[in-house]
Structure 1
Amino acid sequence: MSENKNYQHPDVQKAENDELEIDWMEILRKIIAIRKTLYKAAGVGMVLGIIIALSIPKQYTVTVTLSPEMNGDKASGGLASLASSFLGGGTSSNNDALNVTLAPDIVSSTPFVLDLFDTRVQTLDGKLDTTLVSYLDEQKQPWWGYVKAAPSLAIGAIKSLLTEEADSTAALNPFQLTEKEATKVKGLRQAITANVEKKTAMTTITVTLQDPKVAAIVADSVVAKLQQYIVDYRIKKAKEDCAYLEELYKERQQEYYDAQSKYAHYFDTNRNIAFQSIRAEQERLQNDMSLAYQVYSQVAQQLQVARAKIQEEKPVFAVVEPATIPLYPSGISRKIILIGIIFLTICITGGWKLFGYSYWLKIKKMI
Structure 2
Amino acid sequence: MSENKNYQHPDVQEAENDELEIDWMEILRKIIAIRKTLYKAAGVGVVLGIIIALSIPKQYTVTVTLSPEMGGDSKGGGLASLASSFLGGAATSGNNDALNVTLAPDIVASTPFVLELFNTRVQTLDAELDTTLVAYLDEQKSPWFSYIVKAPGIAIGAIKSLFLEEADTASVLNPFQLTEEESEKVEGLRKVLTADVDKKTAMTTISVTLQDSKVTAIVADSVVAKLQQYIIDYRIKKAKEDCAYLEQLYKERQQEYYQAQSKYAHYFDSNRNIAFQSVRAEQERLQNDMNLAYQVYSQVAQQLQVARAKIQEEKPVFAVVEPATVPLQPSGTSRKVILIGIVFLAVCGTGAWKLLVQEYWKQFRNGF
C-alpha separation between the residues in 2 aligned to 1:156 and 1:363?
Answer: 45
Q: Which residue of 2 aligns with 1:349?
A: 350
| Alignment partner of 1:315 is 2:316 | yes
Q: Which residue of 2 aligns with 1:114?
A: 115
SS at match of 1:170: coil
> Which one-letter code corresponds to 1:123 in the other structure?
T
C-alpha separation between the residues in 2 aligned to 1:7 and 1:68?
Answer: 70
Output one character per residue of 1:176-230: Cα deviation in whole Å (capped at 9) or x when no partner.
1111111110110011110011111111110000000000000000000000000
- What is the deviation of 1:56? 0.5
SS at match of 1:201: coil
Alignment of 1:1-367 (within 5 A): 3=3, 8-70=8-70, 73-90=73-90, 91-167=92-168, 169-367=170-368
> Which one-letter code corresponds to 2:218 in the other structure?
I
C-alpha separation between the residues in 2 aligned to 1:347 and 1:77?
Answer: 69
- What is the deviation of 1:152? 1.2
- What is the deviation of 1:11? 3.2
- What is the deviation of 1:139? 0.2
Change (3 A) 1:5 1:201: closer
Q: Is the 8 A contact 2:71 2:315 kept in 1?
A: no
- What is the deviation of 1:160? 2.4
C-alpha separation between the residues in 1 aligned to 2:103 and 2:360?
Answer: 56
- What is the deviation of 1:279? 0.5
Output one character per residue of 1:210-266: Cα deviation in whole Å (capped at 9) or x when no partner.
000000000000000000000000000000000000010000000000000000000
> Which one-letter code corresponds to 2:258 in the other structure?
Y
Q: Is the 8 A contact 2:70 2:314 kept in 1?
A: no
Q: Is the 8 A contact 2:193 2:208 kept in 1?
A: yes
Deviates more, 1:16-25 or 1:106-115: 16-25
C-alpha separation between the residues in 1 aligned to 2:104 and 2:169?
Answer: 31
> Which one-letter code corresponds to 1:355 in the other structure?
L
Q: Is the 8 A contact 2:72 2:314 kept in 1?
A: no
Output one character per residue of 1:149-184: Cα deviation in whole Å (capped at 9) or x when no partner.
122122222222322214452210111111111111
SS at match of 1:237: helix
Change (3 A) 1:300 1:2: closer
Q: Is the 8 A contact 1:69 1:315 kept in 2?
A: yes
Instruction: State the superposition RMSD in angstroms.
Output: 1.6
Q: Is the 8 A contact 1:67 1:320 kept in 2?
A: yes
SS at match of 2:149: helix
Q: Is the 8 A contact 2:124 2:215 kept in 1?
A: yes
Q: Is the 8 A contact 1:195 1:204 kept in 2?
A: yes
C-alpha separation between the residues in 2 aligned to 1:148 and 1:250?
Answer: 66
Q: Structure 1 runs of 4+ off > 6 angstroms? A: none
SS at match of 1:169: coil
Deviates more, 1:91-100 or 1:111-120: 91-100
Change (3 A) 1:307 1:72: closer
Change (3 A) 1:275 1:333: same
Q: Is the 8 A contact 1:75 1:81 kept in 2?
A: no
Deviates more, 1:226-235 or 1:73-82: 73-82
- What is the deviation of 1:362? 2.9
Change (3 A) 1:268 1:337: same
SS at match of 1:190: helix
- What is the deviation of 1:269? 0.3
| TM-score, with length taken from structure 1 | 0.97
Output one character per residue of 1:273-308: Cα deviation in whole Å (capped at 9) or x when no partner.
101110000000000000000000000000000000
Q: Is the 8 A contact 2:63 2:207 kept in 1?
A: yes
C-alpha separation between the residues in 1 aligned to 2:93 and 2:104?
Answer: 26
Output one character per residue of 1:105-126: Cα deviation in whole Å (capped at 9) or x when no partner.
0000000000000000000000
Q: Is the 8 A contact 1:71 1:99 kept in 2?
A: no
C-alpha separation between the residues in 2 aligned to 1:237 and 1:19?
Answer: 83
- What is the deviation of 1:71? 5.3
Count, aligned residues: 367
SS at match of 2:353: helix
Q: Is the 8 A contact 1:263 1:289 kept in 2?
A: yes
Q: Is the 8 A contact 1:55 1:142 kept in 2?
A: yes
> Which one-letter code corresponds to 2:204 in the other structure?
T
C-alpha separation between the residues in 2 aligned to 1:10 and 1:272?
Answer: 140
Q: Is the 8 A contact 2:72 2:313 kept in 1?
A: no
Structure 1: tracts of 5 or more residues without a match? none
Change (3 A) 1:221 1:125: same
> Which one-letter code corresponds to 1:86 in the other structure?
F
> Which one-letter code corresponds to 2:189 in the other structure?
L
Change (3 A) 1:301 1:2: closer
Q: Is the 8 A contact 1:59 1:330 kept in 2?
A: yes
C-alpha separation between the residues in 2 aligned to 1:170 and 1:160?
Answer: 18
